[in-house]
Structure 1
Amino acid sequence: MSDEMQHEGAPFQTVDEAIGWITQRMPQFGIQVGLKRMERFMELLDHPHRRLKFIHVAGTNGKGSTCAYLTRVLVQCGYDVGTFTSPYIERYSNRIQMNGQDIEDEALLKLANQVKPIADQIAATELGAPTMFEVSTVIAILYFARIAYPDFVVWETGLGGRLDSTNVVTPIVSVITNIGHDHMDILGHSITEIAAEKAGIIKSGVPIVTTVEQPEVIDVMERTAAEKRSTLYLLGRQFSYEAVSQELNRQVLDFTGPFRTIPSIAISLNGSHQLKNAALSVMTLEVLRQYYAVLIDDEHLLEGMRTASWPGRLELIRQEPRLLLDGAHNPEGAATLAEALRTVYTYKRLHLLMGMMPTKSHSDYLRHILPLVDTLIVTEPNFFKKMDADALADLAHQVAAELGRPISIEVEKDYKRALGMLADRTNPDDLAVVSGTLYLISDVRSWILYRTDSDKGW
């Protein structure tokens, strides 16, 4: 059957039409937390999620790299692994992968044509129109359940946990990276409120692995795990790690867990925070091995951890002039980036290009990063929701004055022109950094590598 005949009468004839319908739901319907529309989707589709084994990953920072470690090791061990992450870096299809490969255009088109009539049906009810992220989550579930058939699905939350659309599933293990100040307009204004939302992915009897550190957040995790009768594996109690060595593109850690000790685990991702994400991933894999008899040979574990990669996080994307991309977009992410800039990278002067969304805690972000910066260029991502560059520059001036650090601050709202300004200021001994919202990282990475604009959505 030809493609034309196959798509005859379907809502979309091309994959670009399908992606356009999905991504345009973001400016149309925004973010609406809650599971009622997802539950209705699953009911109308005969509950496809029930036939999949999910590893559910939540947290403020580190979700993407943790998903990358888990996926890479399980693939290395010979398993077929689906991965659902957000937001994507270049193309919409990046977010739905099978064994590290993006969903095929034909499969995405087919599934969008199946989902649209159901989305329209739900939109006509009191539940209202499904959001972009809900439609994406449904397409991912259908792809894994009806086309790809993975052994495991590494399943990243979009926002929060308790009311996130991904929480329609019951996983075989839950993972929470850390808790920090992010999406406070939606998740709550205190760390304990945010922690309660993230802990919403903990399910009855399902083990939970976490690297949260604040005492009040640990209390939330312990209380929730006890209520759900879930075994809790907490960094510093049930498992630990020790840094053995750290250099650019190679770090080594020793892991100690309740079941065994694994020495000399090498990773290529940079920054000391990646040691913690690696330990979290290894503990999760140990739970899979111990609870579900997943076959994980040490050889495959070590090779998978060593070769795992994650774009847009401390990624040196260009050598001349040197350009580092890092999607730090909240205070905790800025602290992690600042530590890496102090300990991993060498440079004479540091030039930073940044752009943000309007809903974040940017003063604390700037307090972490500005002490290192010689030149700051403020821009805007090519996205309908963005923080005005002039307002962000004003805030940067205030924080710089508070820190008593005179730095050059310039505004260029067009990110492509801003990139040119950044390159012009970066000498061979300097380092250029692009940081902030992942929408900006997506724009910059797509433009530098492919000279194309990135898709948009969440």
Structure 2
Amino acid sequence: MTLPEIWPWLESFTNLEKVPAQMPRVWRLDRMTALTKALGLADDTGAPALPKPVFHLAGSKGKGSTAAFLASILHQAGLKPGLFTSPHLSDWRERITLAGEFFASESYESAFSRLQAFDTDLGDSGKKDFAQHWGGPPTTFELLTLGAFLIFQKHCGSTVLETGLGGRLDATNVCRPQVCVLTLIEYEHTEILGSTLTQIAGEKAGILKPGVPVIVTPQNPEAQAVFQARAHELGLRLWNFSTEVSSLETELFPGGTRLAVRLKQGTEWSACLPVWGQHQAQNAVAAALAFWVWAQEYAPELPVSSLIEAGWANTSLPGRMEIVSQDPLIVIDGAHTEQSALAAAQTWQQVGTRDATLLFGAFDGKNLEGMTKALAGVCSRVIVCPPGPERPSSIDAMAEAFRRAGVSSSHLEKFADAEQAWQTLSARGGPVLVTGSFYLAGKVRRWIKNQAST
């Protein structure tokens, strides 16, 4: 299988990112366990034999950024971290990287050719039996996860896994980590994860394992209570961000965010993050705590503080308040929840200008009321458009939500096509903030890069 053939093959299976309605039917962990064993990826415990240390992250907001900061720190330590995240902005290989850098094409081709051969060898009757026994054939995300396992086993020295959805039944939850991280919990995918923060937190807490320490970022009381109870039940050490950190100071500047943190036991770290946002400072500290906790037990000889600071300073976060053009100022952010939209709005108010256009596109099922309320006042003009054809999206619902949030109709436009909206904006010029979906952020990022190369 050649590199251009991999993604179409993966998408020939059920892609739950595009058809979430299929989730209740096929979302289960035992199928992933069976696949891991059938492919010879499992160790004596039945878990995939991944390069250690293994870090496993779940949450509603910030887990992808935290994973990237953590991988950067591990890279500085010479531990060759395999980083598995989702979704991707422009290229599916962004999901499976060596600390953010693509592996050689042959690595992807070899791993997914093996998966294709496994699928082919099953034959029609074998596929039918497998689907009947395990509730369906593998999903796109399961195959991506397995591909990551194959690549990491061969080319890496450590592993950072971000869950795709939830935690308890996520395909990544077959791993056996050395440290877990739980980032901020908020309302998301309520039709699948539950309608309350307690239920959602319960799904996320499903990644916790007996005796494995967990880092918990600042939480709502409901989520915190769930995590505390689960940690007590499993007999594991819970490291609360709020109890371990005595001070955190940030300052935004044109190139990113200056960060200085002090732990209550006296350790201090400081660096300039190459990304904007107070929320990113918290993500960076969560990653540092995860590495620090692991190193205390498994690698006390490492110069932990210098590795953390170097990792922070060299982290790349595409699609997270990313400056894709300086003149005019164009910033893309994949915010797709209320809290992430609020963080994007607060950051833009500090570094951007109100005399700008907000290009917003969100899929149906997102918290439009919360997102539009957070973003309504940050730009003088608003354009709404669908993020793309991947899932349903109502521009009328988005426009109405902005009107209810206080945006007048004279400052609000609707476009039925994202590319048409972007072409109109490009012709007009001026500062732009793009947000509402990683899909929209990725498309704009790609269009700008294509324009720059022509």
Taking structure 1 as the reference length, the TM-score comes to 0.88
The residue number in structure 2 matching 1:43 is 37
| Cα distance in 2, alignment partners of residues 321 and 258 from structure 1 | 43
The residue number in structure 2 matching 1:112 is 112
| Cα distance in 2, alignment partners of residues 383 and 260 from structure 1 | 51
| Cα distance in 2, alignment partners of residues 314 and 421 from structure 1 | 22
Q: Report how far residue 200 of structure 1 moved.
A: 0.8
Check the 8 A contact 2:214/2:237 in 1, yes or no: yes
Aligned counterpart for 2:324 among listed residues 299, 317, 330: 317
| Cα distance in 1, alignment partners of residues 363 and 7 from structure 2 | 23
Confirm whether residue 52 of structure 1 aligns to residue 51 of structure 2: yes
Q: Report how far residue 406 of structure 1 moved.
A: 5.6
Identity across matched positions, percent: 31
Q: Report how far residue 51 of structure 1 moved.
A: 4.0
The residue number in structure 2 matching 1:203 is 209
Partner amino acid, structure 1, of 2:393: M
Unaligned runs of 5+ in 2: 43-47
What's the CA shift string for 1:64-101, capped at 9, x where partnerless? 21112111111112221110110011111111112432
| Cα distance in 1, alignment partners of residues 386 and 127 from structure 2 | 32
Question: What RMSD, in angstroms, separates the aligned Cα atoms of the two structures?
Answer: 2.1
Instruction: Map 1:53-452; keep pairs closer than 5 Å.
Output: 53=52, 54-119=54-119, 121=122, 123-124=127-128, 125=130, 126=132, 127=134, 128-145=136-153, 147-148=154-155, 150-257=156-263, 260-293=266-299, 295-345=302-352, 347-397=353-403, 399-400=404-405, 403=406, 408-427=411-430, 431-450=431-450
What's the CA shift string for 1:230-272, capped at 9, x where partnerless? 1000011133442153323343333333654114333221111
Q: Report how far residue 416 of structure 1 moved.
A: 1.7
For these two proteins, the number of residue pairs brought into alignment is 431
The residue number in structure 1 matching 2:45 is none
Check the 8 A contact 1:383/1:439 in 2, yes or no: no
Unaligned runs of 5+ in 1: 1-11, 453-458
User: Residues 283 and 28 of structure 1: is their aligned pair in 2 closer, same or farther, counting only changes over 3 Å?
Assistant: closer
Partner amino acid, structure 2, of 1:418: A
What SS does the corresponding residue of 1:237 show, helix, strand or coil?
helix
Partner amino acid, structure 2, of 1:381: P
User: Residues 298 and 24 of structure 1: is their aligned pair in 2 closer, same or farther, counting only changes over 3 Å?
Assistant: same
What SS does the corresponding residue of 1:252 show, helix, strand or coil?
strand
What SS does the corresponding residue of 2:89 show, helix, strand or coil?
coil
What's the CA shift string for 1:165-211, capped at 9, x where partnerless? 11111111000111012222211111111111111111111000011
What SS does the corresponding residue of 1:371 show, helix, strand or coil?
coil
Check the 8 A contact 2:68/2:99 in 1, yes or no: no
Q: Report how far residue 212 of structure 1 moved.
A: 3.2
What SS does the corresponding residue of 2:376 show, helix, strand or coil?
helix
